[in-house]
Amino acid sequence: MDPVTDTGQHRPNGPHHPVHCGIVPPHLLDHLSRLDDPAFAEPARRTLERDAAQRTRRRITTVRGLAAPPGPRRPADDAAPERTIHDARGTETLPGDEVRAEGAEPVADESVNRAYDGLGATFELFHTAFARDSIDGAGLPLDATVHYGEKYGNAFWDGERMVFGDGDGEVFKDFTLALDVIGHELTHGVTQYTANLEYFGQSGALNESVSDVFGSLIKQHALGQSAADADWLIGAELFTSEVEGVALRSLKAPGTAYDDDVLGKDPQPATMDDYVDTSSDNGGVHINSGIPNHAFYTLATTLGGNAWERAGLIWYDALTSGKLKADADFAAFAAATVAAAHARYGDGEEEEEAVREAWTAVGVEVSAEARPVG
């Protein structure tokens, strides 16, 4: 079956509607839902239904302005995570019962503890590497709910909290197992409070890619891995042993994360030569994100060392510059990263040239005049 058949998802109404359907792309769930085996199909159908309801909720939240702007910034010395974990206990009621608060000892439920630690690792990366106080830059409390739904095969940021399913046990395991998945979804919150990239087409693929990039950096930072040592996989812990695959996505080699009789083959392209035009998945946001993902991997490994120290700073500066339009395409984001490298490191430095070469390697050209504005 074609991995990008139309599943009825179309362009959101206007540029400021960050509709995030979760770490598992809808084309993969749609594929599972059409299988004859109910062990695969029924959990996937339920997950797709819940994800559709979540997309509607996020649109309503954004339209009504319910996602509050950042509050006043607190002194740098006061910056610390404020985490609360809830348990939905297999229901779809949010937030669920509070089971662990900031500073409390670990509990018997390891899903709770992993969620707590993952929120902390995300806070730590953004704070220590980028001097950002939580995802809004102003100390936003970090909340999460575990054990959401029945065999729910996804995890998502709903604009206010992280939500984790337990997986179906056939394809997916507990979604709290993957630190980069936690980081990925929380980074959607960072994007929400900064560039607010429209969740469609190339801007949507950038939205997904930024989350993959920082999700990977959060894992690398927590593990103390250099760019050379990292696996550059997203969700390597999610598949059961029955799946022929290593992860949901690979920044190092897009299109190679899985090739399975049940799941099909990873459809991500690594370069613009293989860009996928589709009306599915909000214009291929989880598919074409492989292109900017690979540009970042190329930059990080070219520069070497810890990826969050130079490559990550450049991407972060571009995302938070205030100069990106919500409908920015790959070329606009590439130009923003060149400008960020120039602004931070100076004219003609190694970093700026490496950024240009990374985008050229994936088929996105950047004009020689790309520089900071103002």
CA–CA dist 227, 290 (Å, integer): 18
CA–CA dist 29, 259 (Å, integer): 15
Per-residue model confidence (pLDDT) at position 97: 98
Per-residue model confidence (pLDDT) at position 140: 94
**Contact of 204 with 198, CB cutoff 8 Å:** yes
**What angle, rounded to 10 degrees, do the helices at 110-130 and 179-193 form?**
50
- What single-letter DSSP state applies at residue 296? H
Which residue is it, tokens 């690398």? 220
**What angle, rounded to 10 degrees, do the helices at 110-130 and 201-223 form?**
100
**Contact of 83 with 124, CB cutoff 8 Å:** no
CA–CA dist 144, 98 (Å, integer): 10
Per the DSSP assignment, residues forming a β-bridge with 62 are none
3-state secondary structure of 134: coil
**Contact of 51 with 165, CB cutoff 8 Å:** no
Burial of 347 (0-12, 13-18, 19+ CB in 10 A): exposed
Summarised one tens digit per residue, pLDDT across range 157-194 is: 988 899 999 999 999 999 999 999 999 999 999 999 99
Domain boundaries, the chain: 198-361
27 counts as catalytic: no
Which residue is it, tokens 């897009």? 254
**Contact of 112 with 98, CB cutoff 8 Å:** no
Per-residue model confidence (pLDDT) at position 223: 98
CA–CA dist 261, 263 (Å, integer): 6
Question: What CATH superfamily classification does 198-361 receive?
Answer: Neutral Protease Domain 2 (1.10.390.10)
Summarised one tens digit per residue, pLDDT across range 268-318 is: 999 999 999 998 888 999 999 999 999 999 999 999 999 999 999 999 999
Low-confidence ranges of the chain (pLDDT < 50): 1-19, 56-68, 372-374
Which residue is it, tokens 């996602």? 67
**Contact of 19 with 55, CB cutoff 8 Å:** yes
CA–CA dist 35, 33 (Å, integer): 6
- Active-site annotation holder among 31, 147, 185, 221: 185
286 counts as catalytic: yes
- What single-letter DSSP state applies at residue 257? S
**Contact of 127 with 170, CB cutoff 8 Å:** no
Q: What radius of gyration, in Å, describes the C-alpha atoms of the chain?
A: 19
Residue 56 has a CB neighbour count (10 Å cut-off) of: 11
Which residue is it, tokens 């792309």? 25
Amino acid at 189: G
Per-residue model confidence (pLDDT) at position 18: 42
CA–CA dist 26, 367 (Å, integer): 35
- Active-site annotation holder among 286, 294, 351, 352: 286
